[in-house]
Structure 1
Amino acid sequence: MKVFMRCLRILMLVSGFSIVTNCTKEGVVGPQGEEGVDGSTIYSGVTAPADDLGFMGDYYYRITTSDFYGPKSMEGWGSPTNLKGAVGADGAPGVPGPSGPTGADGSKIWNGNVIPGASTGKIGDYYFQSSTANFYGPKTSSGWGTPVNLKGAVGPKGEDGSTIISGVAIPDLSIGQAGDYYFRALTGDFYGPKTGTSWGTPTSLRGATGATGTAGSTILSGLVVPNTTLGKVGDYYFNKSNADFYGPKTGTSWGTPINLRGPAGPQGPPGTANVMYSNWETYPGGREVIIPAPITKDILDKGEVAVYVKEFKGEYLLGLYKIPYISNHIGDLVEFRLELNRIIVYSRSGSISATEGTQYRYVIIPGSIEIGSFQARVNLSDYKEVISVFNIPE
């Protein structure tokens, strides 16, 4: 019995230890449960979500518009909700920051037609030589360095362009090259582009004939007042005898004319048809030089005569003068006077024999030309002006 009781106490002690070792504060650990359902996923992109993207219950955020789609259902993504709020009011200006440090000077691009000198520019600058397209830089303490040429290579020769030829006849196959065009001026036909075998069928550039225009007005003329039976409505009439211009004619009359003759103009310049002149001639010297000339009583009374002289030393022309003048040869004043049918050239010393070989020329302006207005217009001392005004050959 004692042995049985001892064994029973040992069995109870072991059972109590086993129970203590299989218990915690939370209680007894149960069996592992079933696997849970996956949660939703939020996708993102820059475009609207495609129908095949994601699963039911997922969400999508469109970055470019802030639209938020979901949860996705069997019908699709549905209409999005925009998460972008309204634009807020401007904030108060911030306090200006301190001024930054002064920046370093930038580079400068120079240009010229010659190679840049060492004194041109500063370190870091560039130089473009326009005559060669060479580009130097950046400049260093050692100089401008080796340039880079910015001019590209010559490109290949382009193909010849088409030519538009013209003529009055149909173009022959021997005219022009393939790709050319031909305009037939006589008919307005335009051929081309030409092929290797023909000019092809032309296109006419001449439009259809327009409708006949209404009859235009006619300008009639005569020496008397126009009769109402003359002409038709809309015509005009010029009376040549008095410069009256009638029209346009109406159904009842020619109306009141307008005179086309303006007021008399101012007096025209003197004519030159009666101006007389001589060639350059030499005459024997002596006490005086006698020049035959058509000096009439009318010329003496109302005309104007200019006498010009050329003095030479050998073949060298000393000068061209209008008499009176101081002679280079005798150093005295040379003058002239007029007599019927001649001009007398003389000097105060009583002799102009040293002037043999000198050439003389006269210009006679008759009294029929108004001398007063002529003198105000032409300077007779200017030989070039005189021969220009009166169309006198040199």
Structure 2
Amino acid sequence: MGNMKLACFLLVSLSLWIESAFGYRNVVQPKHTTTTSETPKPWIRTIYGTQREIVTPTVIAGVTFGRQPQITPDPLEPWVSLKKDGSPQTVKPQIKNGRTKNGAPDYGSYFKTASTTTYSEEELVEMGIEPDGPHEEEKLVDEDITYLSLNPIIRCTPNRYFNKGSSKDVSSAPFCTPKENADLKVSKTYFVSWYTRFFENDEGVKDDEVRLHLSYVKEKAHEKGYAKRDLTGTFFSSEWLKNLDGMYPLEISEEWLQGSYTRKIIISVQPKSISDDEFDPFETGVVANIILGSKVFKTTKEQLALQDQGITEDTWYYVAMTIPTVVLFAVVFMYFFVQLNSKYRDFSDVKRQALNQKRKVIGKFKDIKKYRHIKNHKYDELPLHKSSKQS
């Protein structure tokens, strides 16, 4: 029995030594877990009454496009908004005091089309209406949301435009995101969004296809106006896109910086009805910055005030360099001015006043606080010094 215990002890000790010496571990079977970040599986839906198709969900920048809708619609279902730079953020509606807060956006009539229907007298009689003649009625027709319903991101509408330009008095149409001078970081994805009905002619016919352009921009030191910036070249153009989508996921590439930490660019959308030669990126484009990483400083109130006045980048550099020159010039001018007028200078009054200050009587000796309690004696009452030698 004792030998059996000893053998078991030696066996356990040997296994522990092998595990620590060779890194041996027992095989652990992984458990299958599911996370919310997993892409949903493809699903089948029926459109236009009888047509069936397979929808394959796609995840872009954490946003799932083409997700299968719930059987019972949920008024509190989360939706995706866009920050100022175009990065997505999830919004969760809430019910407070019987009202829905942060609910899904309502686009009103922005995407509806006005349609006029004419009813003849015969049709009005069939409806049981006494006709006075043909009747015209204007209705707003909803757009086809068959494929728009697959996009959970908020759409761009004119009420979400912002003001751009040095004076902030130019509309950002057709863009909603990104805002002007937004910082777009390398390796991150941002959604460029625009109002799709902006690209319509006078007859209401809109372009079905557009494409996105990115161009380098340089703002000269002596130029403050938005329209005076110099376009140095387009470095990125997307393929032709469906204007119906109204957005494009833009992933920032480090190659676009060309070795710099930051570059100023302009984002523009070209409709297919405008040729490359006639297209002007500055006409409706929005300016942004592509940067390598996060900035380690914040824009101060003084810098914001300078930017509002149109003083940016090189302009402030030249202003800062001019100030010491002006000060030096003023000092040199004053020196020569003083030297040339030295014959006409009279400082006698100043000297007299300074001497009078030095001769100022400080008061009686007995009134001085330090010597106030000292008892004075007459000169003849002072003790006499007795010399050791008598003459």
Normalising TM by the smaller chain, what interval? under 0.3
Higher relative contact order (CA 8 A, sep 6+): 2
Structure with greater helix percent: 2
- TM-score, structure 1 as length reference: 0.15
* Greater Cα radius of gyration, structure 1 or 2: 1
- TM-score, structure 2 as length reference: 0.15
